[in-house]
Amino acid sequence: MTIVKLDLDTFPKLLMHHAEERGDRPAIREKSRGIWRTVTWRELAEEASALAAAVSARGLQRGAHVALLGDNRPRLYAAMCAAHMLGAVAVPLYQDSAVDEIASSIASAKVTHVFAENQEQVDKLLEILPRCPTVQCIVYDKDRGMRHYTQRELVSYDSLLQQGRQLAVEKHDFLRAQAARCSGGDSALLFFTSGATGPAKGVVLTHAALIDRARVAASLGQLKDTDVAMAYLPPGWIGQILFGYVQPMVVGYCICCPESSDTMLADMREMGPTYFLATPRVLETLAKQVSLRMEEAGGFNQRLYRSCMAVGRRVAARTLAGERLSIGDRLASMASDLLIRGPLRDVLGMSRVRVAYTAGDAVDPDLLMFFRALGINLKQLYGSTETGFFVALQRDGAIRPDTVGLPVDGVELKMTPQREVLVRSPGLFREYHGDAARTAEAMNADGWFHTGDAGELGPDGQLRIVDRMADVGALKDGTPFAPRLLESKLKFVPYIREAVAFGDGRDMVCALIDIEMAATSRWADRQNISYTGHADLASRDEVYALIADCIAAMNAQLASDPALASSQIQRFLILDKELSADDGVLTRTGKLRRDVIAARYRASVDAMYDGRTEVRVEPGSGEQAADAKIRDAKVVTSAHTRRAA
């Protein structure tokens, strides 16, 4: 395992260390126009130094905030390195953020300099300049379509870099002094939370907090400088920055930036990552692609797939339970790996993955076991922006699908009487930017951070997360109700993109269903069902029957669990348009904004509980009113539900 010395407590020091120790080794690879380009550690350090010299000449001060707006690209990471060299604070933003979201973040952080990827991002920034008077300089990378832009704040990345290389020699001592002046206790990054439970907060994390957590996680994962990771998740999310910037700085491994989301799987196959991070939404998408592809294959291939995956699930379950595998199991596993599971791992670009984590939201145990059945060492990781991301993770040999694993070294956990998870850790945030009151509310004088998550610690020390405290409730009969578990199970269904469950204070559970358009349309085509678009397809009786069958299958699973039998979904409505972050009902990381959804779809939810079979849906901007159907789902009677009744 390759982890650098503990006295390297800031990112500039780590960068210089890698430039000296492994200067010719790849730091970042980027695919552009079908060709992979490599940036070595030495080249990254030199480019960052030149940028630092240039932006210093353009007024960037120690402690100022530098925003980064765009996809994962080597130049984005070089800009982050440059900001840190000068003692500035990097502020990664979500590249698909709307104008108002960007304006709010930049104004809150009083950003002075922005690195933007292209014309699309620059246009957003120019629109908000009157609302963000602190912005002095906007550096754009790709100049396509920007020939006639003349705003004084604009400068191209190439010209800035050229200027910096001319200044770098005369500013060499100054840059060295600035980098040496940085300490682990300095603020390094400011992340804006997803806003799933309220207004976004600016979370300030220090060099030391991030580096400490990255070192601990790297040690547990036995990471090496020969490892390879993909940088494909939103840079505004702390998980991407931890895996794509902080841990590479600690370990020295290489990250690869795919050409686009459309080429992601092909690019993964070419690069062969050994270390992988995915959100549950990404995993759901991959699992659905595999399931649909094999379902469409039909006949012998479909039967072979089901048989091989059944072997994989059986072997994975026995392995996790610590059972000894029989010779028959071993032979069957080898054959299924050769015939189906190995080729599928290759299709997903995961044939070389040594360790993979899922984080960012709850993952359904069935989804986790799907990937483990494929032979991928997928494990859960729990944390938040405020906790430096790494709080608990599953260890090899001690994986329970219904938990997020054991606390990592240095983390202390305790539960309030209401079962809220409290965390104390070297990775905790410094403060909410400019909000001392909310900081004091979230973290008490003894250093315990209130996560807002409901959970429990098992006898074996493993942490189980139930749901957000704000979302945990009870049905009218007192049955505990946690919607996220039901929603995760539904989203594992290929035809369901998103689900929103309701039940707190009610006499039953109902759900809004957002269909997976690609999968459902392909199913409809096979059934010779004609439709004119999303809304038309979502209203079809055949689609309602399909979703009803899927919910009935899930209800049958729930019926066998005493704790969940009374939480079966009894009524549902299929939405006529997909839930979208652009509409404000999802965060930029894909989490539900429950309060927004409850308010926007109040009439539909009330209609489900009133026993109606149809409801008039009020139109959004530019849309026509329409009637949405409401249908009953099959509830599976069991000993548990009879006792509850």
Token pair, residue 584, equals: 């404000």
Average pLDDT of 113-136?
Answer: 96
Would you say 118 and 134 are in contact if contact means Cβ atoms under 8 Å apart?
Answer: no
Residue closest to 248 by CA, chosen among 220, 223, 272, 267: 223
pLDDT exceeds cutoff 90 at 86: yes
pLDDT exceeds cutoff 70 at 5: no
Look up the CATH superfamily of 11-273: ANL, N-terminal domain (3.40.50.12780)
What percentage of the chain exceeds 70 in pLDDT?
96
pLDDT exceeds cutoff 90 at 481: yes
Q: Are strands 420-424 and 449-457 parallel, antiparallel or unpaired?
A: antiparallel
Q: Going by C-beta distance under 8 Å and a sequence separation of 6 or more, which residues neighbour residue 337?
A: 312, 375
Cα separation values, 594 from 159, 361, 499, 586, 590, Å: 46, 14, 11, 9, 12
The long-range contacts involving 271-274, CB below 8 angstroms and separated by at least 24 positions, are 271/29, 271/36, 271/228, 271/230, 271/349, 272/228, 272/349, 272/351, 272/352, 273/228, 273/229, 273/230, 273/349, 273/350, 273/352, 273/353, 274/226, 274/227, 274/228, 274/229, 274/352, 274/353, 274/354, 274/355
Residue closest to 380 by CA, chosen among 410, 354, 400: 400
Average pLDDT of 30-48?
Answer: 96
Indicate the domain borders of the chain: 11-273, 279-382, 473-644
- Looking up tokens 């109700």 gives 481
Q: What is the pLDDT of residue 131?
A: 95
pLDDT exceeds cutoff 60 at 639: no
Sheet-wide strand order for 449-457: 412-415, 420-424, 449-457, 463-468
Confidence grade of residue 298 (pLDDT, cut at 50, 70, 90): confident
Q: What is the pLDDT of residue 194?
A: 74
Would you say 88 and 79 are in contact if contact means Cβ atoms under 8 Å apart?
Answer: no
pLDDT exceeds cutoff 90 at 616: no
pLDDT exceeds cutoff 50 at 37: yes
- Tens of pLDDT along 423-459? 999 999 999 999 999 999 999 999 999 999 999 999 9
Sign of CA dihedral 593, 599, 600, 605: positive
Average pLDDT of 198-223?
Answer: 93
Q: Rounded CA gap, 259 and 248, in Å? A: 20
3-state secondary structure at position 48: helix
- Tens of pLDDT along 170-197? 888 888 888 889 999 999 999 998 765 5
Task: Output DSSP code: residue 634.
Answer: P
Our CA dihedral for 83, 85, 88, 93, rounded to 10 degrees, sits at 30
70: left (phi over 0), alpha (psi -120 to 50) or beta: left
Average pLDDT of 404-419?
Answer: 95
Q: What is the pLDDT of residue 362?
A: 83
pLDDT exceeds cutoff 50 at 645: no
Q: What is the pLDDT of residue 643?
A: 47
Q: What is the pLDDT of residue 512?
A: 97
pLDDT exceeds cutoff 90 at 361: no
Would you say 33 and 244 are in contact if contact means Cβ atoms under 8 Å apart?
Answer: no
Expressed in percent and rounded to 5, the helix, strand and coil fractions of the chain are 40, 20, 35
Q: Which residues are paired to 573 by β-bridges? A: 512, 630
Average pLDDT, the chain: 92
Q: What is the pLDDT of residue 638?
A: 66
Q: Going by C-beta distance under 8 Å and a sequence separation of 6 or more, which residues neighbour residue 456?
A: 415, 419, 463, 464, 466
Segment among 4-8, 108-112, 141-145, 147-151 with least mean pLDDT: 4-8
- Tens of pLDDT along 557-600? 999 988 889 999 999 999 999 999 888 899 888 889 999 999 99
Token pair, residue 412, equals: 């202390």
Q: What is the pLDDT of residue 442?
A: 95
Q: Are strands 569-574 and 509-515 parallel, antiparallel or unpaired?
A: parallel
At residue 466, φ and ψ (nearest 5 deg) are: -85, -55
Q: What is the pLDDT of residue 582?
A: 87
Would you say 88 and 63 are in contact if contact means Cβ atoms under 8 Å apart?
Answer: yes
Fold that domain 473-644 belongs to in CATH: GMP Synthetase; Chain A, domain 3 (3.30.300)
pTM: 0.91
pLDDT exceeds cutoff 70 at 627: yes
Q: Are strands 26-32 and 392-393 parallel, antiparallel or unpaired?
A: unpaired
Would you say 116 and 442 are in contact if contact means Cβ atoms under 8 Å apart?
Answer: no
Residue, of 241 and 148, whose pLDDT is higher: 241
Would you say 153 and 59 are in contact if contact means Cβ atoms under 8 Å apart?
Answer: no
Number of neighbouring beta carbons within 10 Å of residue 415: 14
Q: What is the largest CA-CA distance in the chain?
A: 81
